[in-house]
Amino acid sequence: MVTQPAKPAQPARPAPDTSRRSERSRRAIYEAALALVAEAGYPKTTIEGIAARAGVGKQTIYRWWGSKADVLLEAFLDLGERAAEAAGHAPDSLPDTGDLAADLKAVLRATVDELLDPRFEAPARALSAEGVVNEPLGREFVAKLLEPRLQLYVDRLRSAQRTGRLRTEIDPRIALELFVSPLAQRWLQRTGPISYAYTDTLVDYALYGLAPR
């Protein structure tokens, strides 16, 4: 039997040296990418355009990222981090006042604000759209952005189960979708308007059910 030599398979460009990377260029690329997506939309945002606006060679982008979507995803993650830093670090849990409905309504109202913030809208839509059709990017988008946030709901719902505010046989990972997914769909697909009243209603419906008691 012939043993296959441990071929590196791909031509595998000799991985660039991260330590020499220009921080200046990276930041400029993030800013250019976000600005262009906001101004011209995702499809009209091109790698050449980002490079030109960032005052950077195209190769500098291709050296560190695999695609336009990758650049934008990192830029958007970075934007989130910087926003979190500005707000004194990211929350690692949802509020827990003991009043589950009130806590959920508060958090969803904040999400409504965020979804309507034009600074977030353009890149968030672009990445979501790309993720729908581009599975690896979609999974990364979910894993890095969506799932951590959903996990906070799981934690809060588990806490509610411990204090008897939520039925214990309920699966929190599914339960959270009852109020989160409707909002997500209305935003993504524009199937309806988004408002505090709407999210409040969702929480009420989800917690107390649709059937008569």
78 contributes a contact to a second copy by CB under 8 A = no
Which whole-number Å values give the CA distances from 180 to 5, 15, 111, 127, in the listed order? 50, 40, 10, 18
105 in Cβ contact with 197 (< 8 Å): no
Question: At its nearest, how many Å lie between a second copy and the CB of residue 6?
Answer: 25
Binding segment (CB under 8 A) for a second copy, from list 4-12, 21-29, 71-79, 183-191: 183-191
Which parts of 17-56 interact with DNA (CB under 7 A)? 17, 19-22, 24-25, 28, 44, 46-49, 55-56
79 in Cβ contact with 123 (< 8 Å): yes
**Roughly how many angstroms between the first and final C-alpha of the chain, as a whole number?**
71
14 contributes a contact to DNA by CB under 7 A = yes
**Closest CA relative to residue 21, chosen from 66, 70, 65, 77:** 65
139 contributes a contact to DNA by CB under 7 A = no
From the list a second copy, DNA, none, partner contacted by residue 16 (C-beta under 5 to 8 A by kind): DNA
71 contributes a contact to a second copy by CB under 8 A = no
96 in Cβ contact with 103 (< 8 Å): yes
111 contributes a contact to DNA by CB under 7 A = no
Take residue 11 and report the two structure tokens written for it: 């031509």
Residue choice 27, 58, 119, 139 for contact with DNA (CB under 7 A): 58
Question: At its nearest, how many Å lie between DNA and the CB of residue 15?
Answer: 8
Enumerate long-range contacts of 40-48, CB under 8 Å, 24 or more apart: 41/122, 41/126, 42/72, 42/122, 42/125, 42/126, 42/129, 42/130, 45/72, 45/126, 47/71
Q: Which residues bind DNA (CB under 7 A)?
A: 14, 16-17, 19-22, 24-25, 28, 44, 46-49, 55-60, 62-64, 67-68
Q: Which residues bind a second copy (CB under 8 A)?
A: 41-43, 100, 125-126, 128-133, 135, 138-139, 141-142, 146-147, 150, 157, 164-167, 170-171, 173-175, 177-178, 180-182, 184-186, 188-192, 198, 201-202, 205-213
